[in-house]
Amino acid sequence: MSQSYEVIFENNRKWVESKVANNPTFFEDLAKTQNPDYLYIGCSDSRVTAEELMGTQPGEVFVTRNIANVVNTLDMSSTAVIQYAVEHLKVKHIIVCGHYNCGGVKAAMTPQDMGLLNPWLRTIRDVYRLHQAELDAIEDEDRRYDRLVELNVQEQCINVIKMACVQERYILEEYPVVHGWVFDLRTGKIIDLDIDFEKILKDIQKIYNLISSDWIMTRKTK
């Protein structure tokens, strides 16, 4: 094995020792169950790790990551994670977190055949199409790139809100709430895009409402 690979196991040993030193039953407690308040949907970029940038501990954040933090309802992986988090883990907050200098977003801006990545990047290119007038008006290429990162996060938040499991539980419990963040690699700070979750939910329900009034009455009387 390479030296860098072996270092991982040494780091793990030190991590275990530090956890047990502070709390002898840490791993015994950790193994019992998980009860996270947060679902984090982020980018697979190696520089953007959810728990570290959020300052959270094991068991506090349920995480799924993919190229450019895309939520595509045809992707069984991300939709299964969201449904499990909403219906079984009962998370209170769903966070879609993008980051500046995102390679996936930049690839989507590049007029080039990316092979197997083409269908995945098409979701981001659709974001560009929806906001083309605003983006094309930004002369500075880096700023345009940053803005597409932000708009991509907002559109993926909308894709989360479209899901029936999210709408159903929010109607009954007023959770989960969906948030859009951007992590700035240049400063280390998280930027809250302050998406208006309730307004977006109300607007999209005119088209994506999957819940009948009879269903609502039945569930609320149980």
Considering the candidates 13, 29, 47, 129, report the single residue annotated as catalytic.
47
- Based on the residue annotation, tell me whether 45 is a catalytic residue of this protein: yes
Nearest CA to 191 out of 113, 100, 94, 108 is that of 100
Q: Is 4 left (phi over 0), alpha (psi -120 to 50) or beta?
A: alpha
Q: How is the chain split into domains, by residue range?
A: 15-217
* pLDDT tens digits, 156-193: 999 999 999 999 999 999 999 999 999 999 999 999 99
| Options 102, 146, 157, 179, the catalytic residue | 102
pLDDT at residue 2 in the model = 64
Asked if 186 is an active-site residue, the reply is: no
Q: Where are the beta strands (DSSP E) in 73-215?
A: 93-99, 177-183, 190-192
Count other C-beta atoms under 10 Å from residue 45's C-beta. Answer: 19
Among 3.90.1420.10, 3.40.640.10, 3.40.50.300, 3.40.1050.10, name the CATH number for the domain at 15-217. Answer: 3.40.1050.10
Is residue 97 flagged as an active site residue?
A: no
Averaged over 120-142, what is the pLDDT? 94
102 is known as an active-site residue? yes
